[in-house]
Amino acid sequence: MNEILQISDTFIEQNTVFLELVNELKKMFSCNEIIVPMRHHHDFPNPELKSDSTLLLMPAWNPSKNAGVKIVTVSPENGQFNMPSIQGTYIYLDAIKGSIKAILEAKSLTVKRTAAASALASSFLSRKDSKSLLMIGTGALSVNLIKAHASVRAIEKVYVWGRNYEKAIRICDQLKGENYISVPVKNIEDKISEVDIISSATLSPKPLVLGKYLKEGQHVDLVGAYKKDTREADDEAVKKSSIYVDTYQGGLKESGDILIPLQRGILKEEEVKADLFELCTDKKEGRVSSSEITFFKSVGHALEDLTAANYYYKKYTNE
């Protein structure tokens, strides 16, 4: 029996080149080879903390090549334990034999592939001359989203907002060696109207990206609000924007950012312009004008996990 490799968060952190991962995702969204059933999404009570947690099971197969499943929990109150809200494991399989090839720590894998998917969307949806970014949120995704967006656009200035200003300062400190200036801000409204790209990754129960502040030509990237009753952008933001999702399968059903406007009649399903499959295969186009506001909602997809697991497995084994 072959040894099961253990691929740690440390290895993933040290061996990620975002533009490489973005290109791998683009290739796999284009190839139509990976089979992805609807993920299991189970909310379960956590009475001790008076807040629900979520269990996600995300399988995917590339027949006769590779397969895998991610098991993830999301616990919004983990900050009080000084732990990320996302915890999990990825089991990477030989799709022919069914044997386990590797077990990857899913925290870093998830944030890396999520950030890379947002950057992939940005390559179609943000203006090519985008130079500034507002990062809303200071969790594990924030640094990764900033670096990923900067891999596809020539970002010069980054503003970081978080409910805890000290955390925003620490995020900016982590980015001091990058090719852009990072500045913490105390109020979203101070910069939201000025930047080219707005990226939001929070567990906020109410919208933080308000349409009244959006201006022509911006790109809005939303990766938080993973539940049906939560959202990061309000109705006005939806009304002013061209709407895109990572996949129709999850994007139209799992997050309040899309589901609530659909239920209210603010948005119709046919008004959602495209998903990443259609963008990557050129079946549909992304941004069509410099004045358009584009709005991308990501809920995550098992294709992204399998692609990332394969990417890190190859790096680990020097294949």
Task: Please indicate, yes or no, whether residues 122 and 172 belong to a single structural domain of this protein.
Answer: yes
Segment 294-318 shows an average pLDDT of 96
Q: Look up the CATH number of the domain holding residue 16.
A: 3.30.1780.10
pLDDT, tens digit (0-9, with 9 covering 90-100), for 25-36: 999 999 988 999
Please check the confidence at residue 190 and state whether its pLDDT lies above 70.
yes
Tokens linked to 209: 């990206």
Q: Which of 151, 69, 143 is nearest to 104 (CA)?
A: 69
Supply the DSSP symbol for 47.
Answer: T
pLDDT, tens digit (0-9, with 9 covering 90-100), for 261-272: 999 999 999 999
Distance CA 52, CA 131 (A): 38
Please check the confidence at residue 303 and state whether its pLDDT lies above 80.
yes
Q: Look up the CATH number of the domain holding residue 156.
A: 3.40.50.720
Task: Please indicate, yes or no, whether residues 105 and 130 belong to a single structural domain of this protein.
Answer: no
- For 88, half-sphere exposure in the C-beta direction (CA atoms, 13 angstrom radius) is 24
Out of 57-66, 75-84, 101-110, pick the least confident: 75-84
Please check the confidence at residue 153 and state whether its pLDDT lies above 60.
yes
CB-based contacts of 277, cutoff 8 Å, min separation 6: 29, 32, 247, 283
What local confidence, expressed as pLDDT, does residue 1 receive? Answer: 56
Segment 284-313 shows an average pLDDT of 96
pLDDT, tens digit (0-9, with 9 covering 90-100), for 61-79: 999 999 999 998 888 888 7
Task: Please indicate, yes or no, whether residues 70 and 150 belong to a single structural domain of this protein.
Answer: no
Distance CA 30, CA 164 (A): 40
Task: Please indicate, yes or no, whether residues 148 and 247 belong to a single structural domain of this protein.
Answer: yes
Please check the confidence at residue 248 and state whether its pLDDT lies above 80.
yes
Task: Please indicate, yes or no, whether residues 201 and 276 belong to a single structural domain of this protein.
Answer: yes
Task: Please indicate, yes or no, whether residues 94 and 176 belong to a single structural domain of this protein.
Answer: no
- Which of the pair, 86 or 146, is modelled with greater confidence? 146
Task: Please indicate, yes or no, whether residues 128 and 262 belong to a single structural domain of this protein.
Answer: yes
Task: Please indicate, yes or no, whether residues 90 and 211 belong to a single structural domain of this protein.
Answer: no
**Structural domain boundaries, residue 104:** 5-109+303-317
Segment 181-204 shows an average pLDDT of 95
Segment 6-15 shows an average pLDDT of 96
Amino acid (1-letter code) at residue 71 = I
Distance CA 18, CA 197 (A): 18
Task: Please indicate, yes or no, whether residues 138 and 220 belong to a single structural domain of this protein.
Answer: yes
Tokens linked to 231: 């959202």
Task: Please indicate, yes or no, whether residues 60 and 191 belong to a single structural domain of this protein.
Answer: no
pTM over cut 0.85? yes
Residue 227 pLDDT grade (very low, low, confident, very high; cuts 50, 70, 90)? confident
Tokens linked to 212: 């009244």
Three-state SS at 267: coil
Average pLDDT, the chain: 93
- Which of the pair, 39 or 276, is modelled with greater confidence? 276
What is the longest distance spanned by two Cα atoms in the chain?
60
Let me know: does 121 contact 279? Beta carbons within 8 Å. yes
Let me know: does 14 contact 186? Beta carbons within 8 Å. no
Question: Cα 26 to the chain's mean position, in Å?
Answer: 14
Residue 90 pLDDT grade (very low, low, confident, very high; cuts 50, 70, 90)? very high
What local confidence, expressed as pLDDT, does residue 15 receive? Answer: 97
Tokens linked to 306: 């399998």
Q: What's the structural domain count of the chain?
A: 2
Taking each helix axis from N to C terminus, what angle separates 18-31 and 106-125, rounded to the nearest 10 degrees? 80
Let me know: does 291 contact 217? Beta carbons within 8 Å. yes
Out of 39-53, 95-109, 135-149, 178-192, pick the least confident: 39-53
Segment 42-54 shows an average pLDDT of 84
Angle formed at CA 72 by CA 35 and CA 165, multiple of 5 degrees: 125
Distance CA 72, CA 95 (A): 21
Phi then psi for residue 299, to 5 deg, are -115, -5
DSSP 136-186: E--SHHHHHHHHHHHHHS---EEEEE-SSHHHHHHHHHHTTTSSSEEEE-S
What local confidence, expressed as pLDDT, does residue 188 receive? Answer: 96
Please check the confidence at residue 40 and state whether its pLDDT lies above 60.
yes
Task: Please indicate, yes or no, whether residues 90 and 135 belong to a single structural domain of this protein.
Answer: no
Residue 60 pLDDT grade (very low, low, confident, very high; cuts 50, 70, 90)? very high
Helices assigned H by DSSP within the chain:
9-14, 18-31, 106-125, 140-152, 165-174, 235-240, 248-251, 256-264, 276-280, 302-317
What local confidence, expressed as pLDDT, does residue 86 receive? Answer: 78
Task: Please indicate, yes or no, whether residues 86 and 167 belong to a single structural domain of this protein.
Answer: no
